[in-house]
Structure 1
Amino acid sequence: MSVLFDFFTSGHDVRLVALAAGVCLVSAYACMSLLHHARRATGRMRLVWNGVAALAVGFGIWVTHFIAVVAYRPGFVWGYDLGLTAASLGIAVLVCGLGLALAIRAEHRWDHLLGGAVVGVGISAMHYTGIAALVMGGTIGWNGALVGTSILAGIVLGAASVLAASAAGKWARLGGAGLLTLAICAMHFTAMGAADFARCFPLSAGSQINTTWLAAALAGISLLILGAAFGSVVLDEADRRRTERETQRQLLDAQRINEVSGRLELAMAHMAQGLAMFDADGVLRLHNRRFALLLGLEQDIDLVGTSFREAFRQVLLGATADAEELEEMVSRLHAQHLPLVRSGGEIVHELVDQRTLRIDHSPISDGGWLTTIDDITERQRSQAAIQHLAMHDSLTGLPNRANFNERFDGILAELEHTDSNLAVVAIDLDRFKEINDTYGHAVGDLALRTVAGRLMECLRDGELVARLGGDEFGALKRFTSMEALRDFLQRLEAAMFTRIETGTTVVETAGSLGVAIYPDDGDDRSKLLNNADMAMYRAKAEFDRHIAYYESEMDEHARQRRAMARDIWAAVEQGAFRLAYQVQKAVATGEVTGYEVLLRWDRPLHGPVSPADFIPVAEECGAITSIGDWVLRTACREAARWPEPYKIAVNISALQLGQVELVDTVRSALLESGLSPKRLELEVTETSIITDKNRALHILRQIKAMGVSIAIDDFGTGYSSLDTLRSFPFDKIKLDRSFMQEVEQNEQSKAIVRAILALGRSLSVPVLAEGVETMAQLEVLRAEGCNEAQGFLLGRPGAIDWDDLLELPVAANG
């Protein structure tokens, strides 16, 4: 490429090169314009435009070559062979004309490419014939690779130019012209670069004519020819446009005539509405088939000439056989429609065949009117269905919360002027989450539908049941006697208890009901619903009944819990919690094995609050996660500063165990404090695991992989099962304190303790007994081979005094 560049910049007259390029571009654009015009022509005119295009491009290529050769400076002057020079012009015109003919008649993409390739061949053939026409002594040396490149460039770019010009539009012609110019110039200058004239010399003194002026004269002649070609295109284009405009005008006139004659017929035949036109005298002058069909008449009946009143009679003929009754119906309908005819308007009629029609009358300037009829039956049904869906639950078909609230407010408004009472019942399915988790949402949905159906079946006039969301239902009952209310509640309670069988699955449902009564328990919807909810939660908490009435003490209890929740959040923000540590010791040796971390809170104005009281509230209000994170990080930080590397045991709540973030929290607490993972033990209850067992165990496995120990707390109560111990390799079993209270006297408690200790030994898992408060209890544990213990006997929770560690008490006979 550098050789070509040096050849081009140092061996040519740049002015003549620019002139050659200009001639080439103009001729290329003329060729593409004529090619585009020839495609639209037919018959002999296509051949004529093909020839003109061939002359334009052939002469343009030839003149471009001549000027470019003159621009070349080989170091001597050469002459030209007249025969070969003329032959090169003929080759350019004929071969390029053949390529253009192929492109003009092209039907496919490959035809355009073939025609352009032939044009490229013509460019190459013309050039090398022109080089052969040079008269000089010596022999031209050729670079074979550049010769091949020049021919290939002409063919490829020529094919691309014709393909680009095959599209419609001015920009397509400009693109094709540019590519054709590039094909000519690339082929010429690459071919000239392939020729070595070093061994050539002049045969005579050369021509005395200034070759620059000669080139300019030839360019001018070329431009005149091309100008004539452009002029013919412009004239022909103008003539074509005049012809097209005239033809278009004639077609438009014919189209307007056809539209005017056929518009009314098409509109009448295909419109979805029924249409009729009445004159000022009320006589029907025009109607479509749809008009008669919607009125229930034969669609081919001709009502033209019928009066407005007679049209009603035709419609109502089948409605009654009594002539007098028929006239009365006709008169009534006529009276309904006459005002609308005069002023315009619409009216809706529901027919005996359950169709709904909307009839619209529109006055016109000559005193008559147009009547249109729409069948809006499906629209009315759709609107009714949408309204039903908006006010009813899609799963159960019961009224939804919006419907319930609307009817609730309406009943309250009515009760202001009566002495009746209103019972508001909050209903909730028991253990519904367990049904979903155990059997899947399909069974859960079936349970909701079944219970909803039973609730609907037990209702009587004036009673309402709605689904408020999830497994929550609401019911309303107006009553004047408690007997009526109790009967209503008994029916609702019975509906909640049912047995559902689906395949091999059997599910039994139960429910809890809370009752608030207007006006005693509240006089507005929000208050009554809130009080009914509190009563319902009371019923859920009590195992011996499923119906609870609202009591004022429930408000006080709820208020106290809300106040405590506010104080808990304030304590979280202010860092008002503190940690206490209770020692854990080896039963056999009395050696300190670790400390359990316990949370303490001195509530402002209330003093110390037991964790058993404030932890459930913290879980309800969502503060337990923040508290748990603080406990874990603070305990790790403090233990890392202890002079002795004792292990610490931190309790993890069920809420924390259900969050994947717990893994990152433990990891960051260890990294921030520098505490060894081997010194941290997390205590979890089986109740917290059972909520979502797979998720909980997956989280615990990740934490255990860090080197942190996992202990199962309060074992022996709640959901304790061997399956949990089998599912996860716990590092310790903590025996619940409830078994230690009677272990000295109660043989059953002692047997349970013995069984759990034996289970721990068989699984090679150490057991720690909680709640050891007497020496007798400690002696039982020592005799049964318990590994560790903690309790008031061994040490009360508090700050650690490293100078006075509590020693394990020793039995009197030990």
Structure 2
Amino acid sequence: MFAFVDFFLQQHDPRFVGLAAIVCLVAAYACVSLLRHARRATGRMHVIWIGVAALAVGLGIWATHFIGMLALRPGFTLSYDLLLTGASLLIAIGICGVGIAMAARGQSVADQFLGGAVVGIAISCMHYTGIAALVMGGAIGWNTGMIALSVIAGMLLGGLSFVAAMNGRMLTGALLLTLAICAMHFTAMGAADFSRCFPLSAGGEINSGWLSGGVALISLLVLGAAFGSVLLDEADRRRTQREKERQEADAARINEVTSLLELATTHMAQGLCLFDNTGHLRFHNQPATDLIRAQGIGDDAVGGHFRDLSLAMQGASRPNTTAEQQEAETRIDELIAGIARGEVKDYLRTLDDGRIVRFVHRPIADGGWVTTIDDVTDEQRSQAAISHLAYHDPLTNILNRAAFNEQLDHALHTAGETDQNFAVIAVDLDRFKEINDTYGHQVGDQVLKALATRLSTGLKEGEVVARLGGDEFAALKMFTSMDALRDFIARIESALFTRIETDVVTVNSSASIGVAIFPEDGGDRSRLLNNADLAMYRAKAEFDRRTCYYEHDMDEHARQRRAMAKDLWTALETNGFSLVYQVQKSVATDEITGYEVLLRWSRPGHGMVSPADFIPVAEECGAITAIGTWVLRTACRNAASWPEKRKIAVNVSGVQLGSLDLIDTVRDVLTETGLSPSLLELEVTETSIIADKQRALHILRQIKAMGVSIAIDDFGTGYSSLDTLRSFPFDKIKIDRSFMTEVDHDEQSKAIVRAILALGRSLSVPVLAEGVETCAQLEVLRVEGCSEAQGFLLGRPGEIDWEDLIEPMLGQMVV
């Protein structure tokens, strides 16, 4: 040991030893730094970094060796063989490359240590090849123990240096590798005895000067490699720092998102489950957990298979037998197969506790799927309620028009494929408006609900009852025999013709019923409904019939009325109407008191049409208001132009009297024509007043306030209510012509006329008798004290010939 120390101190130049140590340290640092880059790189760059690291450490080992040789003072000048010197450099680079590759590609600490040991072998191989390159005489004496120690030291320290460097301890790794190179070199030099050697020149060798230059150049290269590795390390450090900061930011963001996601999934209303590509449950949130527990499934369901969970959550449809179990499993397997094909599965299921749950399975990229579970009980019940409202009458809770139309369409389809017939039945309540007007809509609603309940109670298969609106109902009956249909109609009549107890009053209900039968009375919905309505209107018109079956002449009658309605509108547009006047005279003096305005219509292709025929059609089609306005305006305009001012009486229909617009119409016409209000008299029937008594009397009072007279027409044929006469101070009472036909020889008719005249005198209201056609009739009126009369005896309706009227008047004036 002392001999080795003496050799090291006495035979080495300390300056070169220090230089060798510095070069060795720089090379070692470059090696471990480039080794880390090689480990991180992939592909082609991995190979390049291994080569650069091998070059750096190989050059560093070689330079350290020969700087150390320059430090040696054996007592004579050393020369070196060129080829062996170059070979030693290649050996250092090549074997180091193998060791670096092993460490860079290794997966364990043992691989890293083995790679460093190979680099230690490279140090030994390079050193002894370099010693062999010495050109000198004699023989070197070797200490084999020291040789073994140098090799072991190089391998052990080299292995430890790579382990330290690969695990982040760069400086420790560089120092250990430096120690490995220096320990191996100087231990090996201590194993050599140059005492028996002497200088020898054989040619082709290099001397120490040239070697110094080469070592200096290689040292510069090593320094460059080291500097480059330092720059790379700095760049790598900064990149690592940025990567660390990014990772920390990402981790913070991930933690934040994870917390938010956990918060959201925990408190979301929907259940959420994640299944992997094998069908096993990997995640579920709290709502899903609550749902799973509610079905009696334990917490160990996480990791359970979708098939087992689905079977456990079958709810009301849970299988009870082996066959049902197998069928359920088959359905679930088909469901899983559909999801695997990328199909979205969406269905509802009713659970044991009555909740309605919606399951939606959506495939994801890895072959698994996400399941959302949504409690849609309230939504489904709301939709059911909306659907019920859409097809049921809100007041009576029976089917409405839309539902009845669907049922009728279904009956048409069924009857078309079978031998069944069916009937459509239209129902319209009688005098229902009077119930609303008299007792209020609350009572009317109670009547409708009671009738709907009676109609819908006890319905059999193939029977449908619906409320179409207002006081209109409809029914449908599938039947194979007329007896079945008649039984159904009898039950409807029994339900409709009854006494109904309300909170206010007991009401006797009745109705008009029309029946149309498929296919005889129509082959489509519209035709059947229309024909049932026609039959119902016939029943309403005939007071002695409750139910009327459709007949062909009803359709013909309706067609004629539609054609007449069309011609009425055309007549309005083309001024196709005309007016005639029937004189009214004083019974006592035979003096003209006024004229009644009568409407005439010559219908193209039909001739003159009686007002009794076309006025009801005009009221039905809505033309009566326009016609009445035309009559009023034309009559007032003509009367205003007459040379002799006479009062005119204009009839007002019930439709006109039901509209507040009549007030403005009368006012505007009087203003427009300039006719004095005292010369206009409006005739209304008691029937038109009774339809809406309060409104009608309000309108008549407004008109009377203008100065227009009001006469009650056809008195004695309607309700003849004394209350109507009491409620409104009429200016005239007109006795209907039907009482004048037999008044001259029928005591009963005479008694009625006498009573009406007495009523007029008691109320101080003048009475006019219509339909006077004989002198005997006129004489009865004179005897009984009637004020005025009109009829064919006194003058037929026509144009007024003012010349014939004025000449007698002028003659009387001359006399």
TM-score between both structures, scaled by the size of structure 2: 0.64
Structure 1 gap ranges (5+): 1-248, 808-814
How far apart are the structure 2 equivalents of 1:411 and 1:424?
10
CA drift of 1:385 comes to 2.4
CA drift of 1:650 comes to 1.3
CA drift of 1:674 comes to 2.6
1:263 lines up with 2:256 in the alignment: no
What SS does the aligned partner of 1:593 have? strand
Alignment-derived partner of residue 696 in structure 2 = 696
Is the CA contact (8 Å cut-off) linking 2:683 and 2:712 kept in structure 1? Answer: yes
Residue 426 of structure 2 aligns with an amino acid whose one-letter code is A
Alignment-derived partner of residue 611 in structure 2 = 611
Residue 259 of structure 1 aligns with an amino acid whose one-letter code is E
Alignment-derived partner of residue 600 in structure 1 = 600
Q: Relative to 1, partners in 2 of residues 1:299 and 1:628: Cα closer, same or farther, differing over 3 Å?
A: same
What SS does the aligned partner of 1:504 have? coil
Alignment-derived partner of residue 763 in structure 1 = 763
Alignment-derived partner of residue 565 in structure 2 = 565
What SS does the aligned partner of 1:528 have? helix
CA drift of 1:507 comes to 1.6
What SS does the aligned partner of 2:417 have? coil
What SS does the aligned partner of 1:717 have? coil
Alignment-derived partner of residue 450 in structure 2 = 450
Alignment-derived partner of residue 275 in structure 2 = 278
Is the CA contact (8 Å cut-off) linking 2:314 and 2:349 kept in structure 1? Answer: no
Alignment-derived partner of residue 680 in structure 2 = 680
Alignment-derived partner of residue 107 in structure 1 = none
Residue 299 of structure 2 aligns with an amino acid whose one-letter code is I
How far apart are the structure 2 equivalents of 1:319 and 1:518?
42
How far apart are the structure 2 equivalents of 1:724 and 1:285?
87
What SS does the aligned partner of 1:655 have? helix
Residue 288 of structure 1 aligns with an amino acid whose one-letter code is N
Residue 461 of structure 2 aligns with an amino acid whose one-letter code is D
Instruction: Summarize deviations over 1:742-783 as a string: whole Å, max 9, x none.
Output: 212222222221121111111111111111111111111111
How far apart are the structure 2 equivalents of 1:607 and 1:785?
40
How far apart are the structure 2 equivalents of 1:361 and 1:395?
42
- Describe how 1:459-470 pairs up with structure 2 within 5 A: 459-470=459-470
How far apart are the structure 1 equivalents of 2:743 and 2:319?
98
Alignment-derived partner of residue 304 in structure 1 = 302
How far apart are the structure 1 equivalents of 2:715 and 2:677?
24
CA drift of 1:641 comes to 2.6
Alignment-derived partner of residue 362 in structure 2 = 362
How far apart are the structure 1 equivalents of 2:360 and 2:626?
68
How far apart are the structure 2 equivalents of 1:560 and 1:282?
75
- Describe how 1:207-222 pairs up with structure 2 within 5 A: none
Identical pairs, percent: 66
CA drift of 1:355 comes to 2.8
CA drift of 1:261 comes to 4.5
What SS does the aligned partner of 1:427 have? strand
Residue 600 of structure 1 aligns with an amino acid whose one-letter code is R
Is the CA contact (8 Å cut-off) linking 1:278 and 1:370 kept in structure 2? Answer: yes
Residue 628 of structure 1 aligns with an amino acid whose one-letter code is G
- Describe how 1:445-594 pairs up with structure 2 within 5 A: 445-594=445-594
Q: Relative to 1, partners in 2 of residues 1:339 and 1:357: Cα closer, same or farther, differing over 3 Å?
A: farther
CA drift of 1:713 comes to 1.1
CA drift of 1:307 comes to 3.9
What SS does the aligned partner of 1:733 have? strand
Alignment-derived partner of residue 740 in structure 2 = 740
Residue 460 of structure 1 aligns with an amino acid whose one-letter code is K
What SS does the aligned partner of 1:416 have? helix
CA drift of 1:542 comes to 0.8
Q: Relative to 1, partners in 2 of residues 1:375 and 1:581: Cα closer, same or farther, differing over 3 Å?
A: same
Which residue of 333, 336, 343 maps to 1:335?
A: 333
- Describe how 1:794-809 pairs up with structure 2 within 5 A: 794-805=794-805
Is the CA contact (8 Å cut-off) linking 1:289 and 1:300 kept in structure 2? Answer: no
What SS does the aligned partner of 1:713 have? strand
Instruction: Summarize deviations over 1:778-804 as a string: whole Å, max 9, x none.
Output: 111111111111111111111223344
- Describe how 1:629-644 pairs up with structure 2 within 5 A: 629-644=629-644
Instruction: Summarize deviations over 1:585-640 as a string: whole Å, max 9, x none.
Output: 11111111111111122222222221111111111122222221222222222222
What SS does the aligned partner of 2:476 have? strand
What SS does the aligned partner of 1:725 have? helix
What SS does the aligned partner of 2:520 have? coil
How far apart are the structure 2 equivalents of 1:331 and 1:640?
96
Is the CA contact (8 Å cut-off) linking 2:297 and 2:312 kept in structure 1? Answer: no
Q: Relative to 1, partners in 2 of residues 1:284 and 1:566: Cα closer, same or farther, differing over 3 Å?
A: closer
CA drift of 1:326 comes to 9.4
Alignment-derived partner of residue 668 in structure 1 = 668
Residue 595 of structure 1 aligns with an amino acid whose one-letter code is Y
CA drift of 1:282 comes to 4.0
Is the CA contact (8 Å cut-off) linking 1:313 and 1:326 kept in structure 2? Answer: no
How far apart are the structure 2 equivalents of 1:685 and 1:452?
35
Is the CA contact (8 Å cut-off) linking 2:443 and 2:503 kept in structure 1? Answer: no
- Describe how 1:127-142 pairs up with structure 2 within 5 A: none
Residue 382 of structure 2 aligns with an amino acid whose one-letter code is S
How far apart are the structure 2 equivalents of 1:649 and 1:558?
32
What SS does the aligned partner of 1:702 have? helix
What SS does the aligned partner of 1:362 have? strand
How far apart are the structure 2 equivalents of 1:582 and 1:508?
44
CA drift of 1:540 comes to 0.7
Q: Relative to 1, partners in 2 of residues 1:732 and 1:605: Cα closer, same or farther, differing over 3 Å?
A: same
What SS does the aligned partner of 2:301 have? coil
Matched residue pairs, number? 560
Q: Relative to 1, partners in 2 of residues 1:631 and 1:351: Cα closer, same or farther, differing over 3 Å?
A: same
1:293 lines up with 2:298 in the alignment: no
How far apart are the structure 2 equivalents of 1:351 and 1:496?
45
Q: Relative to 1, partners in 2 of residues 1:274 and 1:473: Cα closer, same or farther, differing over 3 Å?
A: same
- Describe how 1:421-432 pairs up with structure 2 within 5 A: 421-432=421-432
How far apart are the structure 1 equivalents of 2:306 and 2:676?
100
Which structure has the greater CA radius of gyration?
2
- Describe how 1:137-176 pairs up with structure 2 within 5 A: none
Is the CA contact (8 Å cut-off) linking 2:711 and 2:734 kept in structure 1? Answer: yes
Q: Relative to 1, partners in 2 of residues 1:340 and 1:771: Cα closer, same or farther, differing over 3 Å?
A: same
Residue 358 of structure 1 aligns with an amino acid whose one-letter code is R
Residue 734 of structure 1 aligns with an amino acid whose one-letter code is K
CA drift of 1:659 comes to 2.2
Q: Relative to 1, partners in 2 of residues 1:666 and 1:273: Cα closer, same or farther, differing over 3 Å?
A: closer
Q: Relative to 1, partners in 2 of residues 1:360 and 1:785: Cα closer, same or farther, differing over 3 Å?
A: closer
CA drift of 1:388 comes to 2.3
Is the CA contact (8 Å cut-off) linking 2:281 and 2:303 kept in structure 1? Answer: yes
Is the CA contact (8 Å cut-off) linking 1:501 and 1:507 kept in structure 2? Answer: yes
Residue 718 of structure 1 aligns with an amino acid whose one-letter code is G
How far apart are the structure 1 equivalents of 2:741 and 2:579?
26
CA drift of 1:665 comes to 2.3
CA drift of 1:255 comes to 7.3
How far apart are the structure 2 equivalents of 1:737 and 1:317?
81
What SS does the aligned partner of 1:671 have? helix
Instruction: Summarize deviations over 1:74-115 as a string: whole Å, max 9, x none.
Output: xxxxxxxxxxxxxxxxxxxxxxxxxxxxxxxxxxxxxxxxxx
Is the CA contact (8 Å cut-off) linking 1:424 and 1:474 kept in structure 2? Answer: yes
Residue 392 of structure 1 aligns with an amino acid whose one-letter code is H
Q: Relative to 1, partners in 2 of residues 1:372 and 1:623: Cα closer, same or farther, differing over 3 Å?
A: closer
Q: Relative to 1, partners in 2 of residues 1:653 and 1:252: Cα closer, same or farther, differing over 3 Å?
A: farther
How far apart are the structure 2 equivalents of 1:372 and 1:513?
55
Q: Relative to 1, partners in 2 of residues 1:314 and 1:676: Cα closer, same or farther, differing over 3 Å?
A: closer
Instruction: Summarize deviations over 1:545-586 as a string: whole Å, max 9, x none.
Output: 111111111111111111222222222222122221111111
CA drift of 1:349 comes to 2.9
Alignment-derived partner of residue 148 in structure 1 = none
How far apart are the structure 2 equivalents of 1:372 and 1:594?
88
How far apart are the structure 1 equivalents of 2:520 and 2:328?
58
How far apart are the structure 2 equivalents of 1:320 and 1:413?
37
How far apart are the structure 2 equivalents of 1:800 and 1:669?
22
Alignment-derived partner of residue 416 in structure 1 = 416
